[in-house]
Amino acid sequence: MAAVWTLSGGARAVLLLCWFSSCHISVSAAGTFTRQLSFQLNPGWNSSSPPAGDLLHVRAVGNNDTLHFLFCSQGAPTLLLVHTDSASSSVQVNWTQFLSRNTSGGLQVEPESSVLSSAAVVFSRLLEYDDVNNTADPTSDLFPPYELRDFIWSRLQLSSPAALLCGTTPTFGNGSLCLQLSVFDLEGRDQSWPRLLHSANSSQLGVWLDGIPPRASHSRFLLELQVVGGASPVSSVDVRQSIDDEFTPSIFKVSQWVWSENGSADVLGFAQWKPVAYRRRRPALEDATPCRHSPPRPQSGVAAASGLVRAFFSEPQSVGLNVSFGLAGEPFYNSTGFLSWTLLVGVGSPPVDSFSPLVLTIMAVGLGTPMILLLLGGVCVCLHKRREAARTTYEPIN
Ligand SMILES: *[C@@H]1O[C@H](CO)[C@@H](O)[C@H](O)[C@H]1NC(C)=O
Ligand SMILES: *[C@@H]1O[C@H](CO)[C@@H](O)[C@H](O)[C@H]1NC(C)=O
Ligand SMILES: *[C@@H]1O[C@H](CO)[C@@H](O)[C@H](O)[C@H]1NC(C)=O
Ligand SMILES: *[C@@H]1O[C@H](CO)[C@@H](O)[C@H](O)[C@H]1NC(C)=O
Ligand SMILES: *[C@@H]1O[C@H](CO)[C@@H](O)[C@H](O)[C@H]1NC(C)=O
Ligand SMILES: *[C@@H]1O[C@H](CO)[C@@H](O)[C@H](O)[C@H]1NC(C)=O
Ligand SMILES: *[C@@H]1O[C@H](CO)[C@@H](O)[C@H](O)[C@H]1NC(C)=O
Ligand SMILES: *[C@@H]1O[C@H](CO)[C@@H](O)[C@H](O)[C@H]1NC(C)=O
Ligand SMILES: *[C@@H]1O[C@H](CO)[C@@H](O)[C@H](O)[C@H]1NC(C)=O
Ligand SMILES: *[C@@H]1O[C@H](CO)[C@@H](O)[C@H](O)[C@H]1NC(C)=O
């Protein structure tokens, strides 16, 4: 909103253009598409809980299609998203194969012919570096990485529509890295920052580092993500500018990583985030810290890291990137001992933020008032000139 008040004349023209074209369309196109959600923990497993981590299955059934969200902590935490063109497709787990983690086929979506697309996001590593010179250069003075596949993961705590997973390692003490998955039946926004716009075709993953003992007093962190698919993920992350920061104060950008079938322009899925992390659980504006990401690069060995990827994909191809938290001059992790970041993962094209009615009203008033004044001014000047002209043309005759 701050932006709206501080616009220069040029920016107003841009605003006006934007208002009358795409932004306006996206406002009126806000749909009411819904999905029926159902949750199942460890499908097909009939004793208390499987060794080495839970598997959550969320079915999200639309009119003629189903999204299967699978979230698992066998190895590195992984979210697998399978889109089928049938409202009755199902997930079959062969637990013998799934737990042995040495072949694919332990988890299948049936019928196989109904699968439109599939992709997984793997949280593979947490990296830490000692930023002695406060330059936020994440390539220098790295500590040995934390492999998330080696963490001790808690059982999944379900509080529908969300699931919480926390992991720790002996050196963390009370500290933990937690992930919270939320799945949605319709479009909306979370109450807490960054208040990403989600739809029934996306899920949200919150990640936070709580009370981790930093290995240096100038420690900063990075998180390594991998996207796995049969289709090749697009190897670039698109950063879009927005002039509206109403929902995420002071952040005017959104980053998105989209994937499509090899050679096709159709977007099959996406990961989207705002380049901001928060240093407190209930953040104030000064607790926001910007993030950056490295260019995506092909990775190997993802199937060994994630049980879910091993079980579902026969020949997984993966592309990874690092998200680094904090810029030069920003407070270090030890300032609060907390850091949280939020990611949206879904099928189809990423949601596009549109102007809210509040901002539209402000814009209408802000742009409309000067225009009316201009018009009125113009009319007055015209009338005045006419009268003047009338006087000057008639006077000589008199
Ligand atoms: C689970 O159920 C199957 C068949 O329904 C049965 O053969 C198996 O013994 C059960 N396992 C446990 C641990 O109860
Ligand atoms: C669902 O699929 C059927 C058959 O393919 C089609 O006739 C119907 O129009 C579809 N419904 C919707 C809501 O897309
Ligand atoms: C599960 O996999 C094992 C090992 O490959 C196989 O022996 C078994 O028959 C499978 N179970 C089912 C129900 O397909
Ligand atoms: C996978 O591991 C199981 C036991 O852990 C073993 O019986 C099986 O032969 C292995 N399969 C392959 C393909 O290596
Ligand atoms: C920090 O700055 C000092 C002095 O400029 C330099 O010698 C050192 O290499 C720098 N350390 C890092 C990690 O960049
Ligand atoms: C863990 O938390 C408890 C209670 O909050 C505290 O007393 C204890 O010192 C903490 N231990 C570590 C290693 O941080
Ligand atoms: C979600 O997916 C369904 C089915 O593919 C599609 O009809 C709908 O337009 C999508 N909604 C959004 C907001 O992308
Ligand atoms: C993608 O397409 C390129 C050329 O069009 C081809 O060389 C490559 O093998 C394809 N990759 C996959 C995974 O199909
Ligand atoms: C993330 O950063 C670490 C340390 O610089 C590097 O070893 C790793 O390859 C990076 N990962 C990706 C996917 O770029
Ligand atoms: C964090 O570490 C820096 C550098 O040593 C130090 O100046 C600062 O006081 C520490 N902050 C806290 C809250 O411990």
> In which band, very low, low, confident or very high, does the pLDDT at 27 lie, cut at 50, 70 and 90?
very low
Q: Which residues contact 146 (CB under 8 A, 6 or more apart)?
A: 125, 126, 127, 128, 169, 177
Under the banding of pLDDT at 50, 70 and 90, the label for residue 392 is low
Nearest to 68 by CA among 53, 54, 87, 49: 87
Q: pTM score > 0.75 for this model?
A: yes
Q: Is 250 in the pocket of ligand 9 (CB under 6 A)?
A: no
Q: How many angstroms separate the first and last alpha carbons of the chain?
A: 60
| Higher pLDDT pick, 71 / 362 | 71
Asked if the peptide bond before residue 161 counts as cis, ω within 30 degrees of 0, the response is yes
Mean pLDDT computed over 44-54: 86
**Beta-bridge partner residues of 222:** 127, 324
Q: In angstroms, rounded to a whole number, what is the distance separating the alpha carbons of residues 53 and 42? A: 9
Determine the Cα angle at 259 with ends 240 and 19, to 5°: 30
User: Which of 191-195, 268-272, 293-297 is the least confident region?
Assistant: 191-195
**Ligand 3 centre and the CA of 78: distance in Å?**
24
Domains of the chain, by residue range, sit at 2-29+361-390, 37-347
Highest averaged pLDDT of the listed ranges 15-19, 188-192, 236-240, 306-310: 306-310
Average pLDDT over residues 236-243: 77
Q: 53-82 pLDDT, tens per residue?
A: 999 999 999 999 999 999 999 999 999 999
Task: Kindly give the distance from the C-alpha atom of residue 362 to the centroid of ligand 7, in angstroms, as a whole number.
Answer: 30
> Looking at residue 233, what is its pLDDT?
66
Q: Is 70 exceeded by the pLDDT of residue 341? A: yes
pLDDT single digits (tens) 78-130: 999 999 999 999 999 999 999 999 999 999 999 999 999 999 999 999 999 99
Number of the ligand closest to the Cα of 106: 3
Atom of ligand 2 nearest to the CA of 63: 13
* Nearest CA residue ID for atom 5, ligand 10: 217
* Alpha carbon distance 392, 395 (integer Å): 5
The pLDDT value given to residue 96: 94
In contact, 129 and 222? CB cutoff 8 Å:
yes
Best mutation site among 90, 91, 96, 98 for ligand 3 pocket (most ligand atoms within 8 Å of CB): 96
How confident is the model at residue 25, as a pLDDT?
35
Residue 319 neighbours by CB under 8 Å, 6+ apart: 226, 227, 232, 233, 235, 296, 297, 298, 299
Q: What is the DSSP string of 306-375?
A: BHHHHHH-SS-EEEEEEEEE--TTS--GGGTSEEEEEEEEEESSPP-----HHHHHHHHHHHHHHHHHHH
Is the confidence at residue 383, as pLDDT, over 90? no
**DSSP 3-state of 272:** strand
Average pLDDT, the chain: 84
Q: How large is the average pLDDT for residues 200-219?
A: 95
Checking if the pLDDT of 285 tops 70, the result is yes
Q: Facing residues of 297 across strands?
A: 320
* Residue nearest (by alpha carbon) to ligand 3 atom 14: 94
Q: What sign does the dihedral 351-352-353-354 (CA atoms) show?
A: negative
Tokens standing for residue 378? 């113009």
Q: What is the pLDDT of residue 40?
A: 94
Q: Report the alpha-carbon distance of residue 262 to residue 248 in Å, rounded.
A: 34
> Ligand 5: which residue has its CA nearest to atom 7?
133
Q: How far is the CA of 267 from the centre of ligand 8 (A)?
A: 17
* Position in ligand 8 atom list of the atom nearest CA 231: 13
Residue 23 has pLDDT above 70, yes or no: no
Q: Compute the C-alpha angle 386/392/394, nearest 5°.
A: 100
User: From the alpha carbon of 317, which atom of ligand 8 is closest?
Assistant: 13
Q: Whose CA is nearest to atom 5 of ligand 5?
A: 133
CA 235 → CA 108, 296, 332, distances in Å? Answer: 27, 5, 30
Residue nearest to atom 1 of ligand 3 (CA): 94
> Are 188 and 198 spatial neighbours (Cβ–Cβ below 8 Å)?
yes
What is the C-alpha separation between 31 and 351, in angstroms, rounded? 12
- Proportion of the chain above pLDDT 90, given as a percent: 59
CA 262 to ligand 8 center in whole angstroms: 6
369 or 312: which leads in pLDDT: 312
Ligand nearest to the CA of 98: 3
Ligand 8 mutation target, pool 228, 232, 261, 262, most atoms within 8 A of CB = 262
Lowest mean pLDDT among 126-130, 312-316, 385-389: 385-389
Q: Whose CA is nearest to atom 1 of ligand 4?
A: 102
**Mean pLDDT within 372-397:** 68
**CB atoms inside a 10 Å sphere around CB 159:** 9
**Which pLDDT score, from 0 to 100, does residue 252 have?**
77
Q: What is the structure's pLDDT at 365?
A: 74
